[in-house]
Amino acid sequence: MLVNSIVFPAYVYYSVRKVKKLDNTIRLYNEELLATVRDIRGRQQEWQYKSDFQKKIIAAIVHGVKSPLKYMSLTGRQLLNRKELDGNLREIINSMYRSSHHLYAFTDNLLAYVKLYLHENKPVTTTFNLHELVDEKISIFRDIAVAKGCVINNHVHPNMNMSTDRQLLSIIMHNLIDNAVKFTAEGAVTLSAFITERGVHLAVQDTGIGMDEKLTAQLHGKSMDYEPGLGLAITHHLLNMIDGRLEIRSRMGEGSTIIIIFDQDV
């Protein structure tokens, strides 16, 4: 009894001390964890602020250069209509017009993408006439294509409808037509759409310079090592958003065919 009366209180005493020590250790760990969480949240808020600021700056820059480029493009077009221009001056003005028009079209398309990225909008699926959308895009590049001796054909059936995000597909088509016209002189760019058992296919075919096997393979693999430019990077990003993918067929000197594939019904 005497032993128990001594040992038990001692056991309780040391147990209480151990519990208090453990409780103190847990409290310190909790304080460190809370401090870490606060630090992470602070860094996240700082990163979010910087990210939002960068998005707004990019949008402001793109929007700021859009109007001057449009003015330059329209001015160049008006000057080209003047009959008194001699050959050399006409060629200079034509070059100015083509450059400014191309930059304006690129900036306008980039601004649409930046606005989408800035507001982090999710795709909105609607049903629309695909032939009309292609016509809208062709109208942007028709003048510059003519200046290069290139014709753009719309072979999409007039009654063909498509169900996806119209704005995102519009940006994608803009980039693909832009590239096709850029690398095609004295030739043709043809847009078509058809349905297979694999889904809806939208093709942009050109008679331009084409691509070698290495570049085609890199494009299929979505590698960024070949520095494809912002247009293709945007295209890949947007296609992922609307569940589409690219198929590329090309040979050097024989032109290229870029096919957008959607696993859906029209």
Q: Is 65 exposed, middle or buried (0-12, 13-18, 19+ CB in 10 A)?
A: middle
Q: What is the pLDDT of residues 111-124, one digit of tens each?
A: 777 777 666 667 88
Q: Is the pTM of this model over 0.85?
A: no
Cβ contacts of 225 within 8 Å, gap of 6 or more: 218
Residue 17 is predicted with a pLDDT of 63
pLDDT on residue 233: 73
Residue 32 φ then ψ, to 5°: -65, -40
User: Which residues, at least 6 apart from 134, have a Cβ–Cβ distance to it below 8 Å?
Assistant: 154, 156, 173, 191, 193
Task: List per-residue pLDDT tens for the chain, 266 residues long.
Answer: 544 455 445 544 555 565 566 666 766 766 666 677 676 766 667 666 666 656 666 666 655 666 677 767 777 777 777 777 777 777 777 777 777 777 777 777 777 777 776 666 678 899 999 999 999 999 888 888 888 899 999 999 999 999 999 988 998 998 899 889 988 988 999 999 998 887 889 999 999 888 877 767 666 655 444 444 556 777 888 898 899 988 888 888 888 999 999 986 54
C-alpha to C-alpha distance for 35 and 114, rounded to whole angstroms: 36
Position 16 scores a pLDDT of 53
- pLDDT tens digit sequence for 93-151: 777 777 777 777 777 777 777 777 666 667 889 999 999 999 999 988 888 888 889 99
Which pLDDT score, from 0 to 100, does residue 80 have? 74
Closest CA to 264 of 238, 236, 244: 244
* pLDDT of res. 5: 53
Q: Domains of the chain, with CATH numbers?
A: 1-121 (no CATH), 125-266 (3.30.565.10)
Bridge partners for 3 per DSSP: none
HSE-up of residue 59 (Cα within 13 Å, Cβ side): 14
